[in-house]
Amino acid sequence: MMGHTIGDGRWAMRLVPIAVIALVLAFWEWSVAAGFVRAIRFPPPSLIVASGYELLVNGFPRGTLLSAHVGATLYRILLGYGIALAMAIPLGLLIGSSWLLDRMFAPIVAFCRSVATLSLLPLAIVWFGTGEASKVFLIGYGCFWVMLSNAIAAIKQVDPVLIRAARTMDTSTRDVFAKVILPASLPRIVAGARVALGVGFMVIVGAEMIGTTRGLGALIMEARTFYRSDITVVGMFVIGAIGLVLSIFLSRAEAYLVPWQQHQRMAA
């Protein structure tokens, strides 16, 4: 397979997922039309597109457009995610480098990582009020602990051979860190950033339960409250699409930051 021209391979690779999605949608639409599946339980793609349009133009509830929901959530996620990463990566590097700190913090990290966002709602209100700060906190909380865990693991898994090699060349400790350990841990840090982004999105419904009706999480709550399963699905698609776009950004960032990390071209 590797022998074929790269051009053909790449186009085909891009088309396959699109083709699969198209097939699934067509089958779905058909099964609702044919009566095998009830529209209430599985809103057909045609209804979802129509509701998506309604959401774009009229909004739900009427007056709050999709763009407003998307804007509100993006703001909160980027802020919460950004702050979480800015705090977690340096802290993770620090903790991962020290055996003592790692052992001391391991229980706290494992504990805090397991606290559900819904559980934190009352605390978020008390500490940050009912405005944007509490939502940014709740989103950031989830991102922080996951990113921290990944950053710590990233440092610990740097190939010791590299470090020893650098030391034999009389590299200063600071340079060992900045020029060897840090770059070597970048790929795993980026992978961790990807997981943390997912977690950030995962908690938006809980995070946006307080003090707002704008936002994709709040939209999903509204849609569920009023039994508009079509809008719930539109919301899910929009969230998924945004997540996909952001993940592509992350891949681009990875390619820029870590140009030497070739993902292995193995047997196709």
Nearest distance in Å: CB 214, other proteins: 10
| β strands within 40-100, DSSP E | none
For position 35 contacting other proteins by CB under 8 A, the verdict is no
Q: Which stretch binds other proteins (CB under 8 A): 25-33, 78-86, 146-154, 168-176?
A: 146-154
Indicate the residue among 14 and 179 with the shorter CB distance to other proteins. Answer: 14
Indicate the residue among 160 and 170 with the shorter CB distance to other proteins. Answer: 160
Task: Classify the phi-psi angles of 59: left when phi > 0, otherwise alpha if psi is within -120 to 50, otherwise beta.
Answer: left
Report 177-236 residues binding other proteins (CB under 8 A).
187-188, 191, 194-195, 197-206, 209-213, 217-218, 220-222, 224-229, 232, 235-236
Site string for other proteins, 37-76 (x = CB under 8 A): --xxxx----------------xxxxx-------------
If binding means CB under 8 A, how many residues of this protein chain bind other proteins?
Answer: 99
Amino acid type, 178: A
Q: Given candidates 23, 33, 104, 255, which one binds other proteins under the rule CB under 8 A? A: 104
Do the Cβ atoms of 205 and 220 come closer than 8 Å?
Answer: yes
Nearest distance in Å: CB 192, other proteins: 8
Amino acid type, 91: L
Judged on CB neighbours under 10 Å (0-12, 13-18, 19+), 79 is: middle
131 DSSP 8-state letter: S
For position 136 contacting other proteins by CB under 8 A, the verdict is no
Q: Given candidates 26, 56, 110, 165, which one binds other proteins under the rule CB under 8 A? A: 110
Alpha-carbon distance 194 to 68, whole Å?
25
Alpha-carbon distance 206 to 133, whole Å?
14
Do the Cβ atoms of 79 and 133 come closer than 8 Å?
Answer: no
For position 31 contacting other proteins by CB under 8 A, the verdict is no
